[in-house]
Amino acid sequence: MEPSSEGSGPARGGAAAAPEVWTVRTLLAWVGGYLRDRGVDSPRAIAEILLADVLGCERLRLYMESDREPTAEQLTRYRALVARAGRHEPVQFLVGKWPFLGRDFEVEPCTLIPRPCTETLVERALAWYRERRAGEAIEALDLCTGSGCVAVSLALSLRAALRPAGLGCRPIGGEGVASAAPAAPAVTEIQIGDGSPVAAVVSPASDADRPARAHRVVATDLVPEAVALALRNARRHGTAIDAREGDLFAALAADETFDLVVSNPPYVTDSEYAELDRNVREYEPASALRGGPDGLDFVRRIAAEAPRRVRPGGAIAIEIGWKHADAAKRLFGGSAWSGVEVVRDGDGIDRVLFAERAGSDRA
């Protein structure tokens, strides 16, 4: 069974004859088998995700309208996506977005695809905020921001924590609910001399929606396309981040410090990289995955600089590899740090190194 530009269906050939009429039901059965024959993981789910994207509906509606007949144009688009999926291209890149903490983020091959395990990084950082700094405006830094999913999620959650009373709740992925519909926020994109975007600043829609205090979230990445993507995702969700191009802390001023530093750096070892599934190894950027012979090259660099960048009383959280817990804890074992721990993700795997900066910069 091979994708073809001929005929009305997504594929031709194979042992089973193509149905005379392509419906949602027959498409899913045919494409699921096609992808399974090519060793694609979760073939049925991918068939559903792609078809729902083409039809512009939720996956559940595929089963509510199983006799629906896509148009010729929709079949052509679906056929092209299925062919790419059959070559193990990640479904996230095919649909151009993926959820993270309940919000859809634009994704591109210049960055890693957001993964559920990384949600643990944000959750631990927010738990620290609730325990130590609730109600205070803080400054946070996201190193290796990629799509910006971590920085944007932090910015949204921290903003919600400072939201003025009386304006209602701010649901995931949406704006706050007030007695009257709020005006759209004003977006200003700051640029540098060559015209490259540096930061997206989103102004409150009104004085009533302007908190007396405001958090600041800085995000850095070595890849300029990733910086631009992070800015688009900030704009997509109506929040503000200061996104900068640079290698880890190199994008910062020499004297910039933060209350909170988070990072999902490259941490795959050289031997692990060779064994990655082909949809990861062939399509996601190696520069965002490979962390050196033992996977700790970037974690070491962050640990060396962090005492200068994390304010006393602040905290740092870093996503790490599944067998890096002991080594990562040793890197933060000096007198500059306290409360060093490794947090497990939802699958019970060691995932996040967390440490608090010793001392306090508050009276």
pLDDT along the chain (363 residues), means of 10: 45 53 93 95 96 94 93 95 96 96 96 96 96 93 97 94 56 37 41 41 39 79 96 95 96 96 96 93 94 96 97 97 95 92 95 93 54
Give DSSP secondary structure letters for 51-64: HHHHHTS-HHHHHH
Same domain membership, residue 334 and residue 314: yes
Cα 93 off chain centre by: 13
Give the pair of three-digit tokens for residue 352: 């996040």
pLDDT in the model for residue 337: 96
Determine, yes or no, domain membership for 48: yes
pLDDT tens digit sequence for 232-252: 999 999 998 999 999 999 999
Flag whether 11 is in a domain: no
How many domains are contained in the chain? 2
User: pLDDT at position 20, please?
Assistant: 73
Sequence-distant (≥ 6) Cβ neighbours of residue 315 within 8 angstroms: 125, 128, 132, 259, 260, 261, 354, 355, 356, 357
Domain finish residue from 33, 64, 87: 87
Phi-psi region of 96 (alpha: psi -120 to 50; beta: other; left: phi over 0): left
CATH number at residue 133: 3.40.50.150
pLDDT at residue 351, as a whole number? 97
Quick check: 28 and 40 in contact, CB under 8 A?
no
Q: Is residue 64 part of a domain?
A: yes
| CA–CA gap between residue 222 and residue 210 (Å, rounded) | 32
Examine the fold and report which residue of 87, 110, 132 is the final residue of a domain before the chain moves on.
87
Are both 137 and 42 inside the same structural domain? Answer: no
pLDDT tens digits, 26-36: 999 999 999 99
- Domain membership flag for residue 343: yes
Amino acid 58: pLDDT? 92
The reply to whether 93 falls in a domain is no
Question: What is the full DSSP assignment across 227-279?
Answer: HHHHHHHHHHTT--BEEEESSGGGGS-TT--EEEEEE----B-HHHHHTS-HH
Closest by Cα among 225, 248, 351, 262 to 298:
248
Identify whether residues 274 and 234 lie together within a single domain: yes
* Domain around 319: 98-164+182-357
Domain identity same for 36 and 158: no
The answer to whether residue 157 sits within a structural domain is yes
71 with 202, same domain: the answer is no
Token pair belonging to 294:
């033992």
Nearest-angstrom CA–CA distance, 43 and 22 = 19
- 9: how many CB neighbours lie within 10 A of its CB? 20
Query: Contact 318/265 with Cβ under 8 angstroms?
Result: yes
The answer to whether residues 227 and 296 belong to one domain is: yes
- Does 318 lie in the same domain as 251? yes
